[in-house]
């Protein structure tokens, strides 16, 4: 019993001792923690560094304020929590528990990067330095010092990504990319640089530019450029010849940029190179081809202009004599032949006129002469010249208008030509049914709309664009079915545009076409209702009352024998004509005797042109009021204006009909 109580006493005292020891340890721990708290408050809490203390069993002993704040927790919420399951994403727990083991079992320091889970589920990337805290030789707990590298990592990722992209661009670009150090030696060389210059990267690295690709004669110049780059005083864009590994000369565009370090110190140059040898060659060829085309175009215009001029003079003979023959011949069959020749001649004239107009348009020598005209009268007149053609084809050709008279200010010649071309085509391309020409006022009555509608062959959709181009037709080449030279619509379109209008086409294959021309009326500027006389100066010319008594005498300056003959025949019985073949001769004659009128060919084959001769005659006192009429094969739009300016009273173009010349002359004296 005594023994038993002794044993109990011993046990109690042992227990007491252990309790005391434990208490002491706890107090120590508390004291340590207390001093640690001071430490926290001073150092740990005032940095942005994360700080944790963790027990061997993984329980969180302590977390500093910056980390709590970053994770969105309060101290209460985290103390005593199992660190791995609370703050580490599942997929990283394994890795981290091995690190914890290193710290707690092997007492090793650790360095690692891992994600920390915030309260709201965000993940922060933290770089950790771990250290075991020993008590004597025993492990007590470990601490972790962490730096939040989330943003830095993101920035690094971005830099890495853009570096990758850049290097992929440099790798794949068709431009050569070369990097140089400050001594002009290669530090990098992409695939395209290899393709352009022939050297592989290995061959090029470390080599000076002069050893590789700079031709001898420009080495000094290029080094200067390089120095400009290094001193940042230019050289960013340069084009120069280079030489390839095979010794071939090539032309390159260089785009250069200096490379600097963080302190702004120049560390080298980056160059992008475009091999423009082929491009340059192609451009040169294109320029040459363009110049050639322009030259040919000019030649074509000159040729067409000369040709039509040259053809006009003989046409005076053909059309003039045939007109006389038509009247003189009595045998009906021969008369028919004469009519054929006349018609063929007229067609040839049409073509010549079109060509002349085209050259005039192309050389921009066309000027608009506005006058007031009654469009109804002009359309009717033009239309009537096709009545016979329509009747021969057995188709109708009608004109419709709701008004009797419709005045507009426009260029009469252009206007007539527009109507002529459209009606001509409509009749030409219609085999059954017919053609209706109509006129209306539209757009607040400020525009004329002239429609030429036919029931002809129509124009296929895919050709409706090209027919406006010069010489283009729906059926072209040797297979073409219809006559014509493909200029009518080109000229029509140009005239309509020059007159401030527009032209529209609606057409269906096999059913017919409608061309609608819109032209401004310009009514406001119309002051009189009557049409102006065709030639302004005619009225100023004194009129002789009694024509019957004595024929007027004309002096005709003409070097072409046939034209002289034709004029004689045309004016027989109405005017007395005397001819001279040169300017000089004519002036002498005019001095000897006063003529009532002068007819003047412009292109006289003598030193003196018709224009000079006319000026000289005008200078003579007695010829002040005598009409001088230009008779010329220079018969383009705007020429009349030119001759009137040069002092001529009027102008008639070759070839002319008997009626044309008589009407013109009679105007002076009737
Ligand atoms: P050309 O009549 O001398 O051939 P154009 O320039 O006047 O020249 O016309 C060009 C082409 O447009 C014609 O060849 C023809 O194919 C087509 N064309 C013009 N007008 C008509 C129309 N009224 N009906 C059918 N085709 C037309």
pLDDT at site 565: 87
Residue nearest to atom 14 of ligand 1 (CA): 473
pLDDT(8) > 60: no
Residue nearest (by alpha carbon) to ligand 1 atom 8: 486
Domain final residue pick, 116, 148, 180:
148
Q: CA–CA distance from 335 to each of 318, 319, 323 (Å)?
A: 15, 14, 10
- Centre of ligand 1 from the C-alpha of residue 405, in Å: 30
Percent of the chain with pLDDT over 70: 87
Give the CATH number of the domain where residue 260 resides.
Answer: 3.30.450.20
Q: Return the residue matching tokens 């084009």.
A: 239
Cα-to-chain-centroid distance, residue 346: 43
592 found inside a domain: yes
Instruction: Give yes or no for residue 40 CB within 6 A of ligand 1.
Output: no
* 381 and 525 share one domain: yes
For residue 532, the model assigns a pLDDT of: 32
Segment 498-534, tens digit of pLDDT: 999 999 999 999 999 999 999 998 754 333 333 333 3
Q: 311 lies in a domain?
A: no
Task: Output the residue whose Cα is nearest ligand 1's atom 19.
Answer: 425
Decide if 445 is inside a domain: yes
Q: Tell me, what's the pLDDT at 543?
A: 35
Distances (CA, A) of 396 to 114, 391, 399: 97, 7, 10
Share of the chain above pLDDT 90, in %: 50
DSSP 101-165: HHHHTS---EEEEEEEE-TTS-EEEEEEEEEEEEETTEEEEEEEEEEE-HHHHHHHHHHHHHHHH
394 & 498 share domain: yes
| 454 Cα–ligand 1 center, Å | 12
For residue 486, which atom of ligand 1 is closest to its CA? 8
Global pTM reads 0.52
> 587 and 512 in one domain?
no
In a domain, 296, yes or no: no
Greatest Cα pair distance in the chain = 191
pLDDT of residue 431: 94
As beta bridge partners, residue 599 has 556, 629
Q: Which one of 148, 179, 203 terminates a domain?
A: 148
- pLDDT score at 21: 65
Q: Is 358 close to ligand 1, i.e. is its CB under 6 Å away?
A: no
Token readout for 335 is 């008369």
Task: Give yes or no for a contact between 475 and 467, defined as CB atoms under 8 angstroms apart.
Answer: no
Q: Name which residue sits closest to atom 21 of ligand 1, judged by CA.
A: 425
Ligand 1 centre distance from Cα of residue 425 (Å): 6
User: Relative to the CA of 458, which ligand 1 atom is closest?
Assistant: 25
Contact 61 CB / ligand 1 (< 6 Å): no
Q: What are phi and psi of 74, to 5 degrees?
A: -100, 165
Which residue did the predictor score with more confidence, 48 or 178? 178
Q: Return the closest-CA partner of residue 496 out of 515, 514, 473.
A: 515
Check if 484 has its Cβ closer than 6 Å to any atom of ligand 1. Answer: yes
pLDDT tens by residue, 16-62: 566 556 556 655 665 566 566 565 566 566 667 898 999 989 999 99
* Co-location of 253 and 397 in the same domain: no
Does any domain span residue 347? no
pLDDT band at 460 (very low <50, low <70, confident <90, very high): very high
**Mean of per-residue pLDDT scores for the chain:** 85
Contact 562, 579 (CB under 8 A): no
- Lowest-confidence range among 28-42, 113-127, 479-493, 618-632? 28-42
Strand (E) or helix (H) holding 353: helix 332-362
The residue ranges of DSSP E strands in 433-483, in sequence order, are 434-442, 447-454
Measured from the CB, is residue 355 less than 6 Å from ligand 1? Answer: no
pLDDT, tens only, 594-630: 999 999 998 777 778 888 899 899 889 999 889 999 9
Are 275 and 196 a contacting pair, CB within 8 Å? yes
Dihedral angle over CA of 524, 525, 527, 532, nearest 10: -130
Is 513 in the same domain as 377? yes
Helices (H), 138-276: 150-172, 191-197, 201-204, 209-212, 219-230
Average pLDDT of the segment spanning 285-300: 90
How many domains are there within the chain?
Answer: 4
490 lines ligand 1 (CB under 6 A): yes
| Residue 507 Cα to ligand 1 middle (Å) | 12
CA of 336 relative to ligand 1 center, distance in Å = 29
Structural domain including 268 reads 169-275
CB 396 within 8 A of CB 415: no
Candidate ranges 77-86, 141-150, 337-346, 661-670; pick with highest mean pLDDT:
77-86
**Residue 604 counted as domain residue:** yes
pLDDT at 10: 65
The best mutation among 419, 425, 462 to test binding of ligand 1, ranked by most ligand atoms within 8 Å of the C-beta, falls on 425
Helix (H) or strand (E) run with residue 546 in it: none
| 120 and 189 part of one domain | no
What is the DSSP-derived secondary structure letter of residue 535?
S
* 4, pLDDT greater than 60: no
Distance from C-alpha of 379 to C-alpha of 101, rounded to nearest angstrom: 110
CATH at 472:
3.30.565.10
> 397 phi and psi, to 5 degrees?
-140, 105
Say whether both 371 and 488 belong to one domain. yes
- What phi, psi does 669 have (nearest 5°)? -120, 0
The answer to whether the bond into 655 is cis (omega within 30° of 0) is yes
Please give the average per-residue pLDDT across 251-259, as a whole number: 95
CB count, 10 Å around CB of 400?
A: 11
| Residue 412 in contact with ligand 1 by CB distance below 6 A | no
Which one of 148, 181, 196 terminates a domain?
148
Q: Does residue 617 belong to any structural domain of this protein?
A: yes
Do 581 and 646 belong to one domain?
yes
pLDDT of residue 249: 96
The residues that bridge with 180 in the sheet, in sequence order, are 186, 269
- Name the residue of 489, 491, 513 to mutate for ligand 1: max ligand atoms within 8 A of Cβ: 489
CA 349 from centre of chain: 40
For residue 409, the CA-to-ligand 1 centroid distance in Å is 28
Residue 561 Cα to ligand 1 middle (Å):
38
Separation of 411 CA from ligand 1 center, angstroms?
23
**pLDDT at residue 274 above 60?**
yes
Which ligand 1 atom is the nearest neighbour of the CA of 456? Answer: 24
88 in the same domain as 42 = yes
Is 545 within a domain? no
Ligand 1 center to 638 CA (angstroms): 26
Within this chain, do residues 627 and 494 fall inside the same structural domain, yes or no?
no
Phi, psi (rounded to 5 degrees) for 439: -135, 145
Judge if the beta carbon of residue 488 lies within 6 A of ligand 1.
yes
Residues 522 and 390 in one domain: yes
Whether 489 is in the pocket of ligand 1, judged by its Cβ within 6 Å, is: yes
Nearest CA to ligand 1 atom 7: 488
Tell me the CA distances in angstroms from 47 to 43, 67, 239, 553, one per residue in order.
7, 10, 57, 123
Are residues 104 and 213 located together in one domain of the fold? no
Mutate to test the pocket of ligand 1, among 354, 390, 467, 471 (most ligand atoms within 8 A of CB): 467
Whether 503 is in the pocket of ligand 1, judged by its Cβ within 6 Å, is no
Ligand 1 atom 16 nearest Cα: 474
Is the shortest distance between the CB of 418 and ligand 1 below 6 Å? Answer: no
Compute the average pLDDT of residues 192-205.
Answer: 96
Q: Which of 46, 81, 84 shows the shortest CA–CA distance to 65?
A: 46
Cα(238) to ligand 1 centroid in Å equals 54
Return the pLDDT at 280. Answer: 93
Residue 298 Cα, ligand 1 centroid: separation in angstroms? 26
State the distance from the centre of ligand 1 to the C-alpha of 467, rounded, in angstroms: 7
- Distance CA(423)–CA(382), nearest Å, equals 8
Q: For 165-194, what is the mean pLDDT? A: 92
As to burial, measured by CB atoms within 10 angstroms (0-12 exposed, 13-18 middle, 19+ buried), residue 668 is buried
Residue 437 Cβ contacting ligand 1 at under 6 Å: no
């Amino acid at each position: 019993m005594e023994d038993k109580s002794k044993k109990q006493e011993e046990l109690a005292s042992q227990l007491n001792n252990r309790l005391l020891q434990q208490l002491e340890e706890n107090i120590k721990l508390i004291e340590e923690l207390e001093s640690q708290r001071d430490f926290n408050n001073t150092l740990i809490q005032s940095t942005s560094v994360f700080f944790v203390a963790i027990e061997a069993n993984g329980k969180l002993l302590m977390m500093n304020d910056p980390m709590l704040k970053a994770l969105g927790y309060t101290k209460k919420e985290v103390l005593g929590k199992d660190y791995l399951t609370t703050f580490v994403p599942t997929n990283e727990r394994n890795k981290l528990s091995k690190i914890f083991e290193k710290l707690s079992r092997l007492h090793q320091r650790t360095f690692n990067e891992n994600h920390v889970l915030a309260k709201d589920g965000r993940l922060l990337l933290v770089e950790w330095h771990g250290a075991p805290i020993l008590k004597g030789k025993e492990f007590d707990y470990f601490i972790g010092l962490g730096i939040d590298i989330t943003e830095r990592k993101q920035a690094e990722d971005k830099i890495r990504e853009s570096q990758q992209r850049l290097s992929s661009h440099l790798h794949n670009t068709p431009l050569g990319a070369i990097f140089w150090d400050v001594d002009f030696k290669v530090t990098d060389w992409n695939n395209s640089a290899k393709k352009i210059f022939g050297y592989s990267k290995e061959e090029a690295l470390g080599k000076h530019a002069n050893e590789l690709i700079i031709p001898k004669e420009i080495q000094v110049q290029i080094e200067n450029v390089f120095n400009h780059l290094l001193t940042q005083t230019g050289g960013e864009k340069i084009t120069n010849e280079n030489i390839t590994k095979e010794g071939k000369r090539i032309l390159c565009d260089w785009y250069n940029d200096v490379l600097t370090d963080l302190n702004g110190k120049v560390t080298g140059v980056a160059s992008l190179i475009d091999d423009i040898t082929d491009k340059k060659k192609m451009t040169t060829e294109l320029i040459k081809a363009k110049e050639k085309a322009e030259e040919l175009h000019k030649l074509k215009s000159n040729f067409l202009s000369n040709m039509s001029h040259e053809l006009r003079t003989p046409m005076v003979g053909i059309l003039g004599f045939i007109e006389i023959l038509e009247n003189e011949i009595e045998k009906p069959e021969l008369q028919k032949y004469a009519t054929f020749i006349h018609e063929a001649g007229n067609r040839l004239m049409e073509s010549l006129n079109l060509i002349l107009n085209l050259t005039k348009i192309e050389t921009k020598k066309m000027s608009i002469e506005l006058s007031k005209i009654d469009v109804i009268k002009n359309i009717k007149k033009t239309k009537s010249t096709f009545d016979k053609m329509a009747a021969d084809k057995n188709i109708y050709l009608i004109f419709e208008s709701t008004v009797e008279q419709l005045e507009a200010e426009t260029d009469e010649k252009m206007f007539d030509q527009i109507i002529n071309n459209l009606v001509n085509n409509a009749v030409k391309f219609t085999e059954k049914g017919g053609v209706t020409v109509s006129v209306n006022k539209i757009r607040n009555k400020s525009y004329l709309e002239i429609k030429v509608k036919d029931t002809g062959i129509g124009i296929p959709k895919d050709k409706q664009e090209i027919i406006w181009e010069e010489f283009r037709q729906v059926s072209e080449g040797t297979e073409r079915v219809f006559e014509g030279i493909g200029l009518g619509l080109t000229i029509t379109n140009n005239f309509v545009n020059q007159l401030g209008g527009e032209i529209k086409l609606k057409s269906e294959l096999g059913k017919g076409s409608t061309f609608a021309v819109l032209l401004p009326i310009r009514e406001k500027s119309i002051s009189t209702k009557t049409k102006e006389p065709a030639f302004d100066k005619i009225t100023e010319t004194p009129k002789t009352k009694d024509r019957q008594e004595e024929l007027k005498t004309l002096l005709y300056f003409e070097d072409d024998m046939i034209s002289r003959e034709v004029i004689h025949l045309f004016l027989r019985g109405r005017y007395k004509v005397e001819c001279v073949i040169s300017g000089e001769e004519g002036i002498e004659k005019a001095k000897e005797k006063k003529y009532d009128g002068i007819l003047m060919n412009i292109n006289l084959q003598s030193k003196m042109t018709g224009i000079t001769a006319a000026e000289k005659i005008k200078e003579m006192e007695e010829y002040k009021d005598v009409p001088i009429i230009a008779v010329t094969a220079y018969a383009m739009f705007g020429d009349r204006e030119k001759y009137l300016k040069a002092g001529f009273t009027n102008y008639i173009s070759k070839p002319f009909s008997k009626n044309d010349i008589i009407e013109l002359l009679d105007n002076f004296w009737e």
